[in-house]
Structure 1
């Protein structure tokens, strides 16, 4: 539950003032318990779930200690995926905007190396990145951590699960021996303890139970006997409930792609998210799911890390997670902000051990129920209400969301209500528009100009 006001924490006045303008009022539990310790300069091991406010906790801590006039890398935040790194960097920039000339640089795999090298030559205060790319820059001598004050490992359990232990060890060797280490993790496998012993000095351990109210989530368990039955069960659930936004969790990359392809072939607005996809595909998928032009995202646990989507209607566990904590983390993505969420898990007799483990963890008996009856309608799901249009121009062409909105609404061609989220990246702009006006919106840009220039545009989702 939320606790004290941010004014009770001895943060820099500029940070406090900015928090007030951002609407941050009360500290979450993880912030109240960890921030005073972080500000005191101590090492911290914190267990906290997604949505608990942990990003703001470590971000405010490293910003408080930052010496803005010292233009050297003073803080390094390591994340398991580019999606999470981008999300963290965005939050740090928001929290730092009242402190002038703070430079936050994101270094992740899957992005062109050239621009990163050029940015590193200009320097930065804070680096946010994935282990592999950070190690690469360190080995090539392009990145120096000689002035590092704060090292943050966000979602440390996932980095270990993805096989980054050796890479992390290499990065630690490039860090000064005297620094503050902040380790945040949703789960605590044994490797976490081993990792902390190598890099931390007398760490303070903080464990915060999930701040998510699981009473707002309806959990349903359905018995299945085969993979074919699992797919049929998913089809029946989607057909019956017609959720606007659903994540289906699978255990392997191959399985994730297969389920996505099968649903897509049946007309579902659906895409897969897993580590074998190119970074460009992953970025576009995340944008389309967040702007509601994709109804269903089929994902592995690792790929879905950092998923930031409002009002997620349903989570489907195609297979039970191997760890009960991961199960709770999965279902905690629905039913947020006071809305009613739904979590549906498919289980077979072969998963008896997982079921027993989950029962023990939840403190309740799990009983299965019949699947909802199949619909006689041939249509599995309604199409997504929005369609994403991709414009071949972005920040480098000086395009801004206001330019795009202005072009669509000029002369009342479209209403502002017809336009959803507008995401501007370095070289592309993604615009969600209502399906009914998608073709009209396409013609407005194709036949017109933005900033006096013509840009190509296409539909990214059908």
Structure 2
């Protein structure tokens, strides 16, 4: 079975799949969807970018009854970024299901709005364990009617210390629920988690570890010269975008600052940023206003940037599973990927674990640190912010209409538009950015004037 039309899915879900041009199932979808739709518990291991979110999204939506006002499906994710990504994907799949309500609950924002929104319970809840536990402790979130519970990237949740929170949350859900466990790696802790919360689960393991599909290169570079090495590699490759991983927040900020000083369009993503700052960094990276994102592992969790060609490790990850997740940010959905690692002498021992996982020796390369790095190209896009969003009934089509038309921009000069509750971010070709800002400031958007500014 390889086609979604062969599955026992509601017409509304098949219609959404057609609009999204999802036709042939990926291997993990083909292996996991039949048992999930049959009501079986499933433990699935497959690399990132393999279609896991659509798989469990379809499975849980197939069990939701929109006429019943109660939380019927729960998805737990390790980070805000992944929860947001999962929420968006499920909403896309549910676009033709009438009156379906989905809520995403994560920390980093005030609790009060989340409590208020639960006055009318959603059918599907996606969130991080900490915030979900808070809402349950307040008595606002009830799981009595949950039919399907999903643990997404369960290995990371265990690494981040969420085991007790997961136990507390699932302990409040019905024992006869369906429990789905998805992971990119399958350490022993995952088996214990499945044994504790699942009933005779179907195990799905899809071959094709990220390490098999992505070219990896290792460079021996000591810490004082690592930014030099990163600049040289980026200059040689000239990637449209690149993700640089650091092990600490301090390293993230230092590497980002140094790359900016060298002319790179770089931004930092770490735990010290508030929610708006995080949103704006991710928007700029996704819409190509920023070409290099420097991040910690936790901050970049759940990051899904289509066509990300290069991942660089400023320092090797603390264990091989984290290394696997890092390189899994590139080479997604069958595309080519390149993962580069800078290894200091003290980290050579960590390479042994990677080689054991690969079953072969890694590829070492030399880098000439005496030469000068090529001049970095400017980011192709600029992000313009409109201080109005969904709460103001402002839609992407309204923005496009205000920018184009007689004497306006060509539609091809407008990139991604990201709409939030009170803000809308518009990517504009760099050469057209000032014209776009002038047009928005002197004209009107949907008959109204809003504050316009450039981000960054």
TM-score, with structure 2 as normaliser: 0.94
Question: Distance between the aligned counterparts of 2:28 and 2:334, measured in 1?
Answer: 20
322-331 or 152-161, which moves further after superposition? 322-331
Alpha-carbon distance, 1:34 to partner = 1.1
Partner residue in 1 for 2:78: 80
Question: Distance between the aligned counterparts of 1:337 and 1:19, measured in 2?
Answer: 17
Q: How does 1:124-203 map to 2 (within 5 A)?
A: 124-203=122-201
Partner residue in 2 for 1:370: 366
Q: 1:270 to 1:452 in 2, by over 3 A?
A: same
What SS does the corresponding residue of 1:122 show, helix, strand or coil?
Answer: coil
Question: Distance between the aligned counterparts of 2:11 and 2:348, measured in 1?
Answer: 54
Partner residue in 2 for 1:456: 451
Deviations 1:354-391 (A, max 9, x none): 212212222322242221566647x7412211111111
Q: 2:353 matched to 1:324?
A: no
Partner residue in 2 for 1:383: 378
Alpha-carbon distance, 1:399 to partner = 0.8
Partner residue in 2 for 1:404: 399
361-370 or 390-399, which moves further after superposition? 361-370
249-258 or 12-21, which moves further after superposition? 12-21
Deviations 1:89-110 (A, max 9, x none): 1111111222211111111112
Question: Distance between the aligned counterparts of 1:98 and 1:442, measured in 2?
Answer: 36
What SS does the corresponding residue of 1:174 show, helix, strand or coil?
Answer: coil
How many residue pairs were aligned?
456
What SS does the corresponding residue of 2:365 show, helix, strand or coil?
Answer: coil
258-267 or 143-152, which moves further after superposition? 258-267
Partner residue in 1 for 2:287: 291
2:440 to 441, 445, 460: 445
Partner residue in 2 for 1:221: 218
Question: Distance between the aligned counterparts of 1:38 and 1:374, measured in 2?
Answer: 56
Q: 1:211 to 1:70 in 2, by over 3 A?
A: farther
Mapped contact 1:239–1:374 kept (Cα < 8 A): no
Mapped contact 2:211–2:327 kept (Cα < 8 A): no
1:393 to 388, 395, 403: 388
Question: Distance between the aligned counterparts of 1:412 and 1:110, measured in 2?
Answer: 43
Q: How does 1:2-41 map to 2 (within 5 A)?
A: 4-41=2-39
What SS does the corresponding residue of 1:175 show, helix, strand or coil?
Answer: coil
Deviations 1:364-422 (A, max 9, x none): 22242221566647x74122111111111101111111111111113232111111111
Question: Distance between the aligned counterparts of 1:342 and 1:367, measured in 2?
Answer: 12
Alpha-carbon distance, 1:214 to partner = 4.4
Partner residue in 1 for 2:414: 419
What SS does the corresponding residue of 2:342 show, helix, strand or coil?
Answer: strand
What SS does the corresponding residue of 1:128 show, helix, strand or coil?
Answer: strand
Structure 1 stretches of 4+ with a deviation exceeding 6 A read none
Question: Distance between the aligned counterparts of 1:434 and 1:98, measured in 2?
Answer: 33
Mapped contact 1:52–1:210 kept (Cα < 8 A): no
Deviations 1:301-336 (A, max 9, x none): 222122121221211111222333433332233244
Aligned-pair Cα RMSD in Å: 2.0
Question: Distance between the aligned counterparts of 1:409 and 1:19, measured in 2?
Answer: 31
TM-score, with structure 1 as normaliser: 0.93
Unaligned runs of 5+ in 2: none
Question: Distance between the aligned counterparts of 2:18 and 2:132, measured in 1?
Answer: 34
Partner residue in 2 for 1:432: 427
Question: Distance between the aligned counterparts of 1:213 and 1:159, measured in 2?
Answer: 22
What SS does the corresponding residue of 1:455 show, helix, strand or coil?
Answer: coil
